[in-house]
Amino acid sequence: MDTPLVVLVVLTSVAVTSPLYEMIFGKKSLKYVQYLTILSLLVSLILLISSTLSLTPQESTVPHLLRNDTLGSFFSFIVILVTLFVSITSFDYMKGNPNERVYYSLLLFTAIGMTMLCFAVDLLVIFVAFELMSLPTFILAGYNKQDKLSNEAAVKFFILGALSSGILLYGISIMFGITGSTNLEVISQSLTSLSPDMLPFVIFSTVSMLAGLGLKLSIVPFHMWIPDTYEGSPTTVSTLLSAATKKAGFASAIRIFAVIFPLFYFDLSLALAIIALVTMTLGNLAALTQKSITRMLAYSSIAQAGYLLIGIVVLPYTNLGLIGLLYHSFNHAILQATAFLAAGLVRLKTSSSSLDSYNGLSKVMPITSFCLALSLLGLAGIPPLNGFWSKLILFSAAVDGGYAWLALAGLVNTAISVAYYLLVIKRMYMDETSIKAIKEPLIFISVLVFATAIIIVTGLLPNVLYDIAEDITISFLANNPV
């Protein structure tokens, strides 16, 4: 079965039609829209799980545009899972918003864009998917239109997003000029017989594409929009941005860099290593001083992008890098989603995202606090939670690939990051509060508990995901020798 196409059709059919239900069903339509959104996401999830786990080669109707491989299925599984969490929690979070129906439709459009991006192997399709993923998120970021911060978030995000799309397209067009094709496979072949004087153009094109994708990957120096946008947008949308769109960006980056690496792997790898170092250090240091949890998580998300980038840095040297990247992508998506959604629930109930509102929270919102605490410990990489294992593999990959200094930097950064994660836990469990008990909404809480269960279970049984990541890596590198 051609999974990407089926998933895209399932999601599109709901996304396109759901805004129309209001005309047919009137007031009841909201429930239908919500249920259909969940249903379509669930169906896609099941399809993607089966396709990730299947060992037989998958067929593909349009192999030169969307490659139906396990790498794509794995990443799109991650993004759809996060979208599912976001959709369910939005039942509570977006309640009462005048445009609630369109919201779900936009979520689905983002999911479609992300899924396409995960599978795309043609630079033009990558660009189209990139845009399809970005445009709905611009609107979603500004969804509270009465809220000044939300507007600022959307405008900032839109301007930088449009700029980065332009740069990405510029890089693509230069690559087309050099190789005469936009298909990654053809590009890979023509790059092997490239005349040396064309090399500067390849470098220029690579840098442009990195800058374009970098905005979504949230790497330094393309990170400026992140704290403001995450803070201003509805927190569910921030969840989507940090846990999902970033992962789709990484899926695409893996495919692009796997093609470009053979040409000048040493310099490119070193350059990316330096970017990774700067990204994680800046993210962690900036997170230390934040007063608002969403901003803190935003900077933490930047730092985590630095860790993830290690996987691409050592791509030419060791399999462990890609294994770690895949593994950490999943773990980070779950951890970040849990942390952001918990922060969203607190914001919904206390209408504040300042760190001061977390004082003594464990007494008034025990379940939320527990889930948040566990996800923060996971992000910090405290064993035996899942974040520890994938970080361990990423840092080991750095050592194996000859970047011991990057592993040292990563570990020191981990030590720094513990400080701000722990400070939140200290506030929740050790400080006093004046807030009275808050009722935690059942549906929201069950999503948090479910995600926390994944954190614990994948932490205690790391083997399962590691094996999947290893299989995917082996089959991907067999098709794309780096």
Partner 1 sequence: MLVDVSFPLISILIALPILAGLAIPLLFKNSQKYIIHYAILIALIELFITFYSYGLILSNGSGGEYNFVEGPVKILGNFGIDYLAGMDGLSGPLVLITSILTLLVIFGSRDLIEDRKVLYFSMIFLFQGSIMGVFTQLNMILFYVFWDLVLIPMFLFIGIWGGPRKRYAAMKFFLFTFVGSVFMLLAFILIYFSVSPHSFNIPEIAGKIPLSLQIISSVLFFIGFGVKLPVVPFHSWLPDAHVEAPAPISVFLAGLLLKMGGYGFLRFNIGLLPEASAQYAWIFILVGIITMFYGAIVAIVQTDIKKMIALTSVSHMGFVLVGAFTGTIFGISGSVFQMFTHAAAVGLMFMLSGYLHKATGTRNITVIKGLKFSSPRLATLLILGSMAAMCIPIFSSFISEYMVIVGAIQINPIYALIVAVPAITVGYFLWMLRRVVMSDPKSNVKKWDLSNVSTIALVLYLVPLVLTLIAPWLILDVVNPFSTVYAANFRLMSGGAA
Residues contributing to the site for partner 1 (CB under 8 A): 320, 377, 382-384, 388-389, 392-393, 395-396, 399-400, 404, 407-408, 411-412, 414-415, 418-419, 422-423, 426, 429-431, 462-463, 466-467, 470
Minimal distance in Å, beta carbon 381 to partner 1? 9
- Residue closer to partner 1 by CB (options 389, 444) is 389
Minimal distance in Å, beta carbon 284 to partner 1? 13
Minimal distance in Å, beta carbon 3 to partner 1? 25
3-class DSSP string for the chain: CCHHHHHHHHHHHHHHHHHHHHHHHHHHHHHHHHHHHHHHHHHHHHHHHHHHHCCCCCCCCCCCCECCCHHHHHHHHHHHHHHHHHHHHHHHHCCCCCCHHHHHHHHHHHHHHHHHHHHECEHHHHHHHHHHHHHHHHHHHCCCCCCHHHHHHHHHHHHHHHHHHHHHHHHHHHHHHHHCCCEHHHHHHHHHCCCHHHHHHHHHHHHHHHHHHHHHHCCCCCCCHHHHHHHHCCHHHHHHHHHHHHHHHHHHHHHHHHHHCCCCHHHHHHHHHHHHHHHHHHHHHHHHCCCEHHHHHHHHHHHHHHHHHHHHHCCCCCHHHHHHHHHHHHHHHHHHHHHHHHHHHHHHHHCCCEHHHHCCHHHHCHHHHHHHHHHHHHHHCCCCCHHHHHHHHHHHHHHHCCCHHHHHHHHHHHHHHHHHHHHHHHHHHHCCCCCCCCCCCHHHHHHHHHHHHHHHHHHHCCHHHHHHHHHHHHHHHHHCCC
C-alpha span between 313 and 42 (Å, rounded): 34
- Residue closer to partner 1 by CB (options 354, 396) is 396
- Residue closer to partner 1 by CB (options 60, 318) is 318
Minimal distance in Å, beta carbon 416 to partner 1? 9
Minimal distance in Å, beta carbon 469 to partner 1? 9
Minimal distance in Å, beta carbon 427 to partner 1? 9
- Residue closer to partner 1 by CB (options 112, 465) is 465
Minimal distance in Å, beta carbon 401 to partner 1? 10
- Residue closer to partner 1 by CB (options 22, 471) is 471
Minimal distance in Å, beta carbon 51 to partner 1? 21
- Residue closer to partner 1 by CB (options 86, 313) is 313
In sequence order, which residues have a C-beta less than 8 Å from that of residue 122 and are 6 or more positions away?
Answer: 64, 65, 182, 183, 184
- Residue closer to partner 1 by CB (options 24, 415) is 415
- Residue closer to partner 1 by CB (options 102, 428) is 428
Minimal distance in Å, beta carbon 388 to partner 1? 7
Largest separation between any pair of C-alpha atoms in the chain: 71
- Residue closer to partner 1 by CB (options 21, 421) is 421
Minimal distance in Å, beta carbon 312 to partner 1? 19
- φ/ψ of 166, rounded to 5, equals -60, -45
- Residue closer to partner 1 by CB (options 383, 441) is 383
The residue with tokens 């709901």 is 14
Minimal distance in Å, beta carbon 452 to partner 1? 15
Query: What distance lies between CA 91 and its chain's CA centroid?
Result: 22
- Residue closer to partner 1 by CB (options 19, 383) is 383
